[in-house]
């Protein structure tokens, strides 16, 4: 597994931001698989990156210190050492977002077609079922939008 696949989505995105904002300073290639850096934030964090054994990577930030966590500082260091991986990450995420939006559009159209085929009594029964068994936010949102008290 690699750095990006082991990091949380939030750490990946923040790491990408830090990379783009040039917050990684003093990037040092130790050998073919190890790097060190300092990442600027409110204070400077010291990062050790091991791409062969990602869980051996370390950072002295509060999130990762003493833990096997891939934080945003480690991700930023990784993207600084391998800029093509930053581009790949952005392209992959953009493609996934596009696919998700297409899926949502198709699903919306299917639901509209289904609703348009339903009788009024079927719609009422389905709406009651949604309020009874659906997530609470649906009911709350409906009440707020329709000013029902």
Q: What is the DSSP string of 88-103?
A: HHHHHHHHHHHHHHHH
- Distance in angstroms (rounded) separating the CA atoms of residues 127 and 125: 5
Please state the domain count of the chain.
Answer: 2
Write the pLDDT tens digit of every residue in 39-89: 999 899 999 999 999 999 999 999 999 898 999 999 999 999 999 999 999
Give the pLDDT confidence of 94-118 residue by residue, as tens digits. Answer: 999 999 999 999 999 999 999 999 9
- End position of a domain, from candidates 83, 103, 124: 83
pTM of the model: 0.72
Q: Using 50, 70 and 90 to split pLDDT, how confident is the model at 145?
A: confident
Residue 30: domain span: 3-83
Give the pLDDT confidence score for residue 144 in this predicted structure: 80
């Amino acid at each position: 597994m690699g750095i990006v696949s082991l990091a949380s989505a939030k750490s990946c995105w923040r790491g990408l931001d830090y990379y783009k904002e040039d917050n990684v300073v003093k990037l040092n290639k130790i050998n073919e698989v190890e790097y060190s850096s300092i990442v600027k934030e409110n204070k400077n964090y010291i990062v050790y990156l091991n791409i062969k054994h990602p869980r051996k990577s370390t950072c002295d930030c509060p999130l990762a210190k003493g833990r096997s966590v891939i934080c945003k500082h480690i991700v930023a260091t990784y993207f600084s050492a391998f800029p093509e991986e930053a581009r790949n990450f952005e392209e992959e995420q953009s493609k996934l977002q596009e696919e998700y939006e297409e899926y949502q559009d198709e699903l919306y159209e299917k639901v509209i077609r289904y609703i348009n085929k339903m009788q009024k009594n079927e719609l009422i029964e389905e709406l009651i079922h949604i309020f009874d068994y659906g997530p609470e936010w649906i009911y709350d949102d409906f009440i707020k939008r329709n000013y029902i008290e």
